[in-house]
Amino acid sequence: MFPEKKFYGGDWEMKLSKFALLGAFAFAVMTGSVSADELQQPVLEPIAYTLQDAADSPSDDGTWSLFKRDGEGLEISGWTQVGYHDGSTGLFNTDPKSVGVEQLWFAFDKASDSDAEGFGLGYHFDLVYGRHAEETAAFSNPNFGQAGDWDTEDDDWAMPQLYLTGHLGDWDITLGKFYTLVGYEVVQANGNFFYSHAKTMNNSEPFTHTGVLASKTTESGMDLTIGWTAGWDTGFDSNGSNGILALGKSIGDNIGLNYVTTFGDISETENGYSHSIVMDITLGERMSYVFQSDYVDTNQRYQIGVNQYVFYTVSDDVALGARLEWWRDGSSPGQDSEYSFTTGVNWRPQSSFDLVVRPEVRIDWDDQTDNTETIFGVDAILSY
């Protein structure tokens, strides 16, 4: 499916493969339209509340809420994730055989006003506590870990996002520190089907950026985002200049396609090209299939991965999912492939609370050894 990396010469072949992928995507995006929402995983979004209204009353849909929701003013969304896993691959879930708080998350959002004169400014910031908090720190800052550094303390708190939003003509503007557009899985627990994460997300994708994004929907229906950032995983500090381009389209009624690339400086010493392609296919009313591929080619590494997901909705309470991964770090000759297969359940009990329980079994193996690691994990997420 993808060409082999030529480690001793032959760089033109990899450049040619990039142009081939870009050309294929460009041809595809001229044939339909999609919004970014259609490329999200089949899980419910967190409930949003506003600080301007009374508390301790049921929401309009009967779900218990801390604050009445009216879509005005400063809104809060949040969740608590508690998890257990009996082994660790070193990918996010790194505290085996112990029950702990993975994420205690609060998101604060004041929406920008598209009808206002001028920029119609809004803002957003997140506060997170828990075992996953350190995974969202600005660990690529040039002065990471030093006194006074942004969001890099060795503790369980983090502020992964802090940005302004506004409008400039028909462009939506985001300025500050924000989560990446790259990939399919996200840091926020309630944005994923599975408790564990794919190798590509942890190894071959940024988590956050600091910079500016401009987004619009073109007349042809294509979702377009362009931007500049100060590298990967920085917090109001600079690793140089890194560009971002994202394109989203649909092909017919059942296929969504998303392409995101970054290019330029990744860190103080690393620069190059990366992209992520996500294709989401609806297979009837109950089933969907997702294909994702990540590609990274820099002066320090060459990585490539393919993830495939299948989701099946059994009922309003239960959904089943499976994920098959292939990931390869070809930064040196002879590096073998790594694989993983995960299957799990999302169970959302009927109650007045927005609660989901996610048991899963994950199996990891590679080409270098005969060892196979099987990990059981389960978490629960209560959104409020």
The confidence score (pLDDT) of residue 236 equals 64
The confidence score (pLDDT) of residue 369 equals 79
Contact criterion met (CB below 8 Å) for 183 and 200: yes
Q: Among candidates 77, 159, 142, 75, which has minimal Cα distance to 111?
A: 75
The confidence score (pLDDT) of residue 77 equals 84
CA atoms within 13 A of residue 355's CA, in its CB half-sphere: 10
pLDDT tens digits in sequence order for the chain, 384 residues long: 333 333 223 333 333 444 344 444 444 434 443 333 344 443 333 333 333 333 333 455 666 666 555 667 788 889 999 999 999 888 889 899 999 999 999 999 988 877 767 677 899 999 999 998 877 765 555 554 544 444 444 447 888 899 999 999 889 999 999 999 999 999 999 999 999 999 999 999 999 999 999 999 998 889 999 999 998 887 666 668 899 999 999 998 899 999 999 999 998 889 999 999 999 999 999 999 999 999 999 999 999 999 999 999 999 999 999 999 999 988 766 567 999 999 999 999 988 888 999 999 999 998 877 889 999 999 999 998
Q: What is the dihedral of CA 55, 58, 63, 66, to 10 degrees?
A: 0
The confidence score (pLDDT) of residue 334 equals 59
The confidence score (pLDDT) of residue 158 equals 86
The confidence score (pLDDT) of residue 330 equals 81
Q: Among candidates 164, 136, 165, which has minimal Cα distance to 150?
A: 136
What is the domain partition of the chain in residue ranges?
A: 11-383
Which positions ≥6 away from 239 have C-beta within 8 Å? 140, 142, 230, 231, 232, 265, 266, 267, 268
Question: Which two tokens mark 248?
Answer: 């989203």
The confidence score (pLDDT) of residue 90 equals 83
The confidence score (pLDDT) of residue 199 equals 94
The confidence score (pLDDT) of residue 16 equals 40
Q: Among candidates 218, 292, 219, which has minimal Cα distance to 256?
A: 292
The DSSP-derived string for 108-162 is EEE---TTSSTT--EEEEEEEESTTGGGGS-TTSTTTTSTT-TT--SSSEE---E
CA distance 275 to 291: 14
The confidence score (pLDDT) of residue 74 equals 84
Provide the phi-psi class of 118: left if phi over 0, else alpha when psi is between -120 and 50, else beta.
Answer: left
Contact criterion met (CB below 8 Å) for 383 and 190: yes
CATH architecture for residues 11-383: Beta Barrel (2.40)
- pTM of the full structure: 0.80
CA distance 252 to 302: 34
- Rounded to 5 degrees, φ, ψ at 119 are -85, -20
The confidence score (pLDDT) of residue 25 equals 40
